[in-house]
A and B are shown apart, each in its own frame.
Chain A
Amino acid sequence: MTEILHIDWTRCDGRGLCTELLPTVLVRDDWGYPLALQATNGNRSNPAISPGNIEAAREAVHLCPKLALSLVPEQAKPRQ
């Protein structure tokens, strides 16, 4: 099952640790906040994580200083 990396925008402060750990998934936008390189269903906020990136994504979840990241199963779509 694909997992998506959910970014809690109310917490993220954009210092960009996650973009360093996941350079093929996230880049920094104009202000340093993580931006999905590829949109998942038109959404550049919650990128799908491929199996090759899952370890790095877990690390990002653990290391994010703001506890802004979480991995969620793809079905659990965020609230509309």
Chain B
Amino acid sequence: MTIQEAVGPAVDTLRGSAGTYQLFAAGSNAGLAEHEQAFGPLSLAAIDAGFMSVLGESGLTGRGGAAFSSWRKVAATAQGRGAALLPAKPVVIANGAEGEPLSFKDKTLLAHAPHLVIDGLLIAGRAVSASLLYIYTTPAAMPVVEAAVAERRDARKIKVVQAPETFISGEASAVVNSIATGVALPLDNRRRLSAAGLKGRPTLVLNVETLAHVALIARHGSGWFRAAGSERDPGTRLVSISGQGAGQVLEVEGDARLCDVLSSAGVDLSTVGAVLVGGYHGRWVRDLECRLSPSGPGENVINPGAGVLHILPARDCGLEATARILDYLARASAKQCGPCMFGLPAMARVLSAIAYGDRNPRLVLELERLTKLVGGRGACHHPDGTARLVSSALEMFAEDMKAHLLGTCTRETRSAI
């Protein structure tokens, strides 16, 4: 994999669906002037309680991976204030941590369209009457974001906080923990962030791309947003494409076909063995006709998660690629929760043994057993996401598995991950 430049590709390599740019309409490295010229100034005063229903009608879902309905999250935070006499004012956090190694769309967005994210954050803040606003982002994106915030009078109350570059740092409760204590580890999931997050206040954590869409929906309305994509997956999303040639960020319509997305990125489909959709917590896919929509997995539908599409060339071994990722995931465990701390390395050892030539047929059953054992048993979704990846590899690479156990895998190892 060509590791992406920290700031991501230049805007001329970014393409929108059907040749239209939406999120990147202001061009490369857009400053406030270019931003306002492209999108028009932001009229925050026009954002009132009614914006919640506009957001609801838009059908926007989170673009950070979990794809929850954005308005429900916003509404839960607004209600999280409860009926107390002096309710605590909410906190809104723009999450740009993007710990997933194969994802670079958030860094790219922050580099080229930071003002759209700031707009979205100000709008979300106003919708829930927040008193504290944060942008949480990686060291590489910090300078651009800080400069953009400094450029604006209306962004004075936004604090920019640095996220450590770890896989788990972007998990919502890890974000809150990091800002509060400097430790970017997930918190026990009994605590609801919408009721008691940062400093005990109702806390809304939204992905930076989600906020950029919020900024456009506030300007153009829900009908405009829904004009792209489909009924079940309206609007556009950014995808990070890697594994073949230089990494690319594309803005594609919701419910797009995987093959169309890859073709518009210039990928020769005949060389594609499989695609890892959704990143290290995602799934391997071979059917390139399938559509990318959070309603998946289902018949011909796959959940794009945070929009990662990583290509495995046809000549490479999927088991070895998965073994390498699993090894990374085992090391990425925040080592707080026993089943994750011990279970993931155990899974990684078994899969590596298979991938690198151990032909004991019981290893497959052992891997399946361990995969079931870790499911649901951690403070965050790391064990579940890891189990999902391994299950999909066992399914998609069943033939390769047989070849490995017979000692006849002929693919090149050392795949590019």
Contact = CB atoms under 8 A, between A and B. Distances in A.
A35 B338 CA distance: 11
B356 interface: no
Interface residues of A, number: 25
Given A45-B376, A72-B190, A79-B193, A10 B339 contact: no
A2 B191 CA distance: 20
Interface in B170-224: 173, 185-193
A70 interface: yes
Contacts, number: 67
A10 B190 contact: no
Interface residues of B, number: 26
B375 interface: yes
A44 B343 contact: no
Given A79-B189, A79-B193, A33 B339 contact: yes
Contact of B342 (A7, A30, A42): A30
A10 to B, nearest CB: 4
A9 B193 CA distance: 18
A59 interface: no
A43 interface: yes
Contacts of B68: 80
Given A31-B338, A31-B342, A44-B377, 20 more contacts: A7-B377, A8-B188, A9-B188, A9-B336, A9-B337, A9-B338, A9-B379, A10-B185, A10-B186, A10-B336, A10-B337, A10-B379, A32-B338, A35-B377, A42-B375, A76-B190, A78-B189, A78-B190, A79-B190, A79-B191
Interface of B: 66, 68, 173, 185-193, 336-340, 342-343, 346, 373, 375-379
